[in-house]
Amino acid sequence: MLTRILSLRDKTDDLLKHGSIMVAAGLSVGLINYVFQLIMGILLSPAQYGTFISLSSLYNIVKFFTRTFQLSVAKFASTFRTEDRWGRIHYLWIYSLKRTFLIGLALFIISASLSPVISKFLNIDNVWFLPVLFCSFVFTFALPVNLGMLQGLQKFVSLGLSNCLQALTRLAIGVLLVFLGFGLYGALSAYFCSYVILFIITIIMLRYIRKTKSEEFKTSILTSYAGLTIIAIFSFAVLTNVDVIIVKHFLSKVEAGNFGVVAILGKIAFFTSNGIIVAMFPKMSDLFEAGKKTYPLLIKTLIYVGVVVGGVVLVYWLFSEPIINLLYGDKYPLVAPNLVRYALAMALFSFSFTMMNYLLSLNRTRVAFCFLAGMFLEIGLISAFHSSISQVVDMMLISSASCLFLVILYYMVVRHSLIKKQPVN
């Protein structure tokens, strides 16, 4: 009963503490990932780096899509934790791992067979680069189950540490393999190796769950929740990654390399705030299950997100050229004029992502249609207007603002019923 009593307390009390842990972890991961990208940008030619960035963006869409499993597992792990049903948590964990392994294996087989088609679209000469990256899918889908368990059980130190370890192992393995002469093969192989290592580590972190007796429950509730959540997460993944892929198709290799740097630096505005959102999700779900008000926690989360993303945009506005010159010299001259606007687009996406997680934690899964509409709008805009990097960035700004408008509109429609525990919709 103590667990249940503790879980029903005011979740706003420790949002700053847990959010700070996840923000610190997010900043560390962002820094490590940036160092990884920076070293790749130095070791590879602009044309090779453009290929690396386009493949990384394609992979990130799939990786971001797997957040569906992390959110779904976190949602129900949080609910069962509130109810003190640890047997159900055990069953949820094993059930989800089995299915995500099968999904990852099937996707690897399908995507590997489509490598020639994808390579042609992205203007990549070597078709074997893609299967090397796609073999990561087997663990890319299973690992979020473990991370979702940590998130739902509010083990934020372990969750943050896991994310940092994954980034560190990818950096170390990737740099080592590229330095040894494996080139782009080495950089792409690092994804698979880091996921295997982190999967083993998170299994060890969650070993105490195996000590409880498994309690079966109707998995239809999990499937029902995951349905529209998949659309929401996938749409958002496309929104924040497809621009690099389209640019690789339409613009020159050198321009694609420059745009890749814009995207890598600009996305810092999104990734730095992600930790606050991760910490918010299970707390919001707990409040909802307990029938308490969720609005105060939402406002506090939006304020924290605003401070973080606003700080990143401000730094780029004041120091974009010195930052680019310090990191890259004159290797990527098209980055600085576009960085602030791209970071602003990512800041707007951060607010949209906050609202998405808030609504999903309250079972309002139809928010997915807002992001689906935004996805089609962005793809259409960039496909029609891509004469330069600057024009593509402008399309990103329009898309991010439109997406935020749609999700706020949806919130206004459903806000009166948010405190009521209603079926998933």
339 with 312: CB under 8 angstroms?
no
In whole angstroms, give the CA distance from residue 118 to residue 130: 8
Domain total of the chain: 1
In whole angstroms, give the CA distance from residue 175 to residue 94: 34
pLDDT tier, 13 (very low <50, low <70, confident <90, very high otherwise): low
pLDDT tier, 9 (very low <50, low <70, confident <90, very high otherwise): very low
Quick: pLDDT tens for 85-132: 888 889 888 888 988 889 889 988 888 888 888 777 777 777 777 888
Of 181-195, 273-287, 346-360, give the range with the top mean pLDDT.
346-360
Share of the chain above pLDDT 70, in %: 91
Whether the pLDDT of residue 6 is over 70: the answer is: no
pLDDT tier, 197 (very low <50, low <70, confident <90, very high otherwise): very high
Whether the pLDDT of residue 422 is over 60: the answer is: no
Q: For residue 337, give Cα distances in angstroms to 16, 195, 258, 302, 324.
A: 35, 36, 11, 28, 10
Q: What is the pLDDT of residue 325?
A: 75
Classify residue 425: in a domain, yes or no: no
Average pLDDT over residues 393-406: 92
Classify residue 175: in a domain, yes or no: yes
Structural domain range at position 51: 2-417
Positive or negative, the CA dihedral 154, 156, 160, 161 is negative
Q: At what angle do helices 268-289 and 156-177 cross, to 10 degrees?
A: 150
Whether the pLDDT of residue 373 is over 80: the answer is: yes
Quick: pLDDT tens for 41-65: 777 767 777 778 778 777 877 777 7
Classify residue 63: in a domain, yes or no: yes
Classify residue 104: in a domain, yes or no: yes
Q: What is the pLDDT of residue 420?
A: 52
Classify residue 308: in a domain, yes or no: yes
* Side-chain-facing half-sphere of 15: CA atoms under 13 Å: 26
Whether the pLDDT of residue 380 is over 80: the answer is: yes
Classify residue 423: in a domain, yes or no: no
Classify residue 422: in a domain, yes or no: no
In whole angstroms, give the CA distance from residue 381 to residue 397: 11
Classify residue 424: in a domain, yes or no: no
In whole angstroms, give the CA distance from residue 394 to residue 341: 8
Whether the pLDDT of residue 156 is over 90: the answer is: no
Average the pLDDT over each of 126-140, 250-264, 398-412 and give the range with the smallest value.
250-264
Q: What is the pLDDT of residue 1?
A: 37
Average pLDDT over residues 21-45: 77
Q: What is the pLDDT of residue 19?
A: 67
Average pLDDT of the residues of the chain:
81
Q: What is the pLDDT of residue 365?
A: 82
Average pLDDT over residues 171-178: 88
Q: What is the pLDDT of residue 146?
A: 92
Confidence (pTM) = 0.70
